[in-house]
């Protein structure tokens, strides 16, 4: 059964904004979408302002990348769950597309920002490879595997 219209509207408004904030954090962290929302960054590093990393530092880049991409992923999954096909087979396909796209995006960001992470003597490539493999598998399955409507679902459609 499809969610009622008020659930769809609230999900669209709130998670549409969270998706935008997550993508902003990932690609353009200095851009304000909400008044003073950039002031939340110190919350990740404690109350002491001296602990807040400088713009471009590996701590800030990794935090924004991970938090932004995760917020965008969760928001997109909620939007896909509430606003797309209510039937299980196609809903699962839609979620696999969402997760696959964000896995590939996350892998790309990890490879793209690895020079920043290298400054911390860390190797992010194994994590990037895991995200890339999972994303490719999800997208391949979601986009190439044939799916048909289940007999019970066919009878319910009007």
In a domain? residue 156? no
Give the count of domains, the chain.
1
Rounded-to-integer distance, Cα 154 and Cα 59, Å? 51
Sort residue 4 into left (φ over 0), alpha (ψ -120 to 50) or beta.
beta
In a domain? residue 35? yes
Structure tokens at 43: 């919350």
In a domain? residue 85? yes
CB-based contact 22:75 (threshold 8 Å) = yes
- Global pTM? 0.73
In a domain? residue 153? no
Residue the block writes with tokens 């200095």: 30
Domain that holds residue 103: 5-148
Residue the block writes with tokens 């950039």: 38
pLDDT at 34: 77
In a domain? residue 154? no
In a domain? residue 104? yes
**Count of all residues that appear for the chain in the document:** 158
Q: Categorize the per-residue pLDDT at 27 as very low, low, confident or very high, splitting at 50, 70 and 90.
A: confident
In a domain? residue 128? yes
Rounded-to-integer distance, Cα 107 and Cα 114, Å? 10
| Mean pLDDT of the 80-91 span | 84
Of the candidates 38, 33, 71, the one whose C-alpha atom is nearest the C-alpha of residue 55 is 38
């Amino acid at each position: 059964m499809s969610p009622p219209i008020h659930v769809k509207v609230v999900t669209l408004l709130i998670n549409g904004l969270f998706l935008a904030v997550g993508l902003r954090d990932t690609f353009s962290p200095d851009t304000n979408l909400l008044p003073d929302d950039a002031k939340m960054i110190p919350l990740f590093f404690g109350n002491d302002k001296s602990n807040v990393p400088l713009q471009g530092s590996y701590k800030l880049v990794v935090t924004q990348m991970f938090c932004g991409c995760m917020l965008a992923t969760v928001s997109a999954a909620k939007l896909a769950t509430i606003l797309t096909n209510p039937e299980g087979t196609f809903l699962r396909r839609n979620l696999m597309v969402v997760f696959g796209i964000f896995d590939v995006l996350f892998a790309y960001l990890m490879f793209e920002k690895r020079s920043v992470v290298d400054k911390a003597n860390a190797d992010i490539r194994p994590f990037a490879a895991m995200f890339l493999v999972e994303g490719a598998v999800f997208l391949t399955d979601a986009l190439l595997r044939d799916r048909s409507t289940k007999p019970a679902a066919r009878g319910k459609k009007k």
